[in-house]
Amino acid sequence: MIRSRKPQLVMVLILAWLCSPVLSAEPNEADIESKFEVSSEEQKWLIGKGSTESGRGPIRPSHVAVLFIRPSRNFPDFESPVVMKSILSTSAGKLLSQSQVALLSTGHACISRLGRFGETVPNHYHFRLYAVSENDARNLPEAFLQVLTNQAHANAQPNRERLLEFKEKISETKAKIPEAQAKAQAALSKIAELKKTLHYPSADEAKKTISELNKILVMTDVEIAGIQAKIREIKNYKSYKIVTEKAHLAALEQMLSEQNIELVAALAKKKAAAAAREEAERFCRLEEASKLPYYLEQKLRQYESILQRYEKVLEEPDMIPPELFQNKVTIYPVRAED
């Protein structure tokens, strides 16, 4: 009969990782202090969620660590070489014996979740971690809990960063509101004065006026450019031509005088339009200042709503480090069976 070579291949990969620099060591490994109790009551080697399948393999465990953890969560695939590497990369995982590493290579025969959530202990998962010695039975649960804790921290970290970001935005926005309220009161007083002389009742009307005045200013600039070109040409004509007749000279002087008058009028028109635009823009700025507290309060409510969403996300099970029932791990001997 030909046996599968998968366990052997996984074992080779794990040993290779142990002999090389660890690439996936967790930078913020949690310090987990668990109480260990040792019982003399022998246990069967059980695997699988049904709590009935017996373990088997070339390497038999001598001890089993029994623990119960909460809250409910999505567990990683403990048969995955990547997860095995994570376990072996923890400080506790590095203390495991080579025989324990070999047992880990058999996958689900080493780390087993029995039954459904809350079936043995209410609101807790039942885990059995098999080891080849009592010492390994102490280190393996520590490594196992470290991996789950690091996974929860990794899941939560982006949300914690966003939480802090919005807390800062809320703080900054709250700090701006008193000053904005003071400026709003001053702006409302100035608006009341401006409305006595201006022809628009609201910022929307002022913006329309600004748009119309911008068109007038563009047209006036074009008009001024045309007049200035005429003046230059008249002056050029006077300097380049020998004007012998007094009538011709008088006509040129008349034209030049008329264009200068047109230029003065156009420049005055531009100045008036620019002044009117400045008044309209000032009105808009005052209107914006008068409404700034409302906008800031709106933004504050939006930030607070987003903050609450992130707080709820951080309460999800996968964001919370595992909690060990009674902070206890019980170590049992595994019954030797033929």
Classified as helix, coil or strand, 214 is: helix
Let me know if residue 222 belongs to a domain: yes
Let me know if residue 214 belongs to a domain: yes
pLDDT attached to residue 76: 86
**Single-letter amino acid, residue 80:** S
pLDDT attached to residue 179: 94
Let me know if residue 134 belongs to a domain: yes
Do both 255 and 184 map to the same domain? yes
Do both 175 and 74 map to the same domain? no
Please state, in angstroms and rounded to a whole number, the distance separating the CA atoms of residues 338 and 327. 35
Let me know if residue 338 belongs to a domain: no
Do both 183 and 75 map to the same domain? no
pLDDT attached to residue 211: 85
Please state, in angstroms and rounded to a whole number, the distance separating the CA atoms of residues 229 and 146. 83
C-alpha dist (Å) from residue 176 to 169, 170, 306: 11, 10, 19
pLDDT attached to residue 41: 93
pLDDT attached to residue 241: 57
Do both 126 and 25 map to the same domain? yes
Do both 139 and 200 map to the same domain? no
Let me know if residue 1 belongs to a domain: no
Do both 146 and 172 map to the same domain? no
Contact 121, 114 (CB under 8 A): no
Do both 150 and 196 map to the same domain? no
Classified as helix, coil or strand, 333 is: strand
Tokens 């996968």 map to which residue?
A: 318
Question: What is the domain range of residue 129?
Answer: 6-157+318-333
Do both 108 and 251 map to the same domain? no
pLDDT attached to residue 162: 95
State the number of CA atoms in the 13 A half-sphere of 337 facing the CB: 13
Of 208, 185, 224, 187, nearest to 276 by C-alpha is: 208
Neighbours of 67 (CB within 10 A): 25
Give the Cα-Cα-Cα angle 230, 231, 232 (nearest 5 degrees): 90
Let me know if residue 10 belongs to a domain: yes
Do both 128 and 184 map to the same domain? no
Please state, in angstroms and rounded to a whole number, the distance separating the CA atoms of residues 188 and 38. 77
Buried b (16+ CB within 10 A) or exposed e, 270-301: beebeebbebbeebbebbebbebbeebeeebe
Do both 173 and 233 map to the same domain? yes
Q: C-alpha 216: how far from its chain's center?
A: 47
Bridge partners (DSSP) listed for residue 112: 128
Pull the structure tokens for residue 319. Answer: 């964001």
pLDDT attached to residue 11: 42
Peptide bond into 122 cis (omega under 30): no
Classified as helix, coil or strand, 218 is: helix
Do both 138 and 177 map to the same domain? no
Structural domain count of the chain: 2
pLDDT attached to residue 301: 96
Start-to-end C-alpha separation, the chain: 21
Of 189, 175, 174, nearest to 289 by C-alpha is: 189
Do both 127 and 204 map to the same domain? no
Please state, in angstroms and rounded to a whole number, the distance separating the CA atoms of residues 238 and 252. 8
User: 255: which residues sit within 8 A by CB, 6+ positions away?
Assistant: 230, 234
Please state, in angstroms and rounded to a whole number, the distance separating the CA atoms of residues 306 and 300. 10
Segment-wise mean pLDDT, segments of 10 residues, the chain, 338 residues: 40 40 42 81 79 71 94 84 90 94 79 86 93 95 94 94 96 95 89 75 76 88 90 79 64 85 90 86 85 94 96 93 94 82
> Which secondary structure element, helix H or strand E, spans residue 175, and what is its range?
helix 134-194
State the number of CA atoms in the 13 A half-sphere of 223 facing the CB: 18
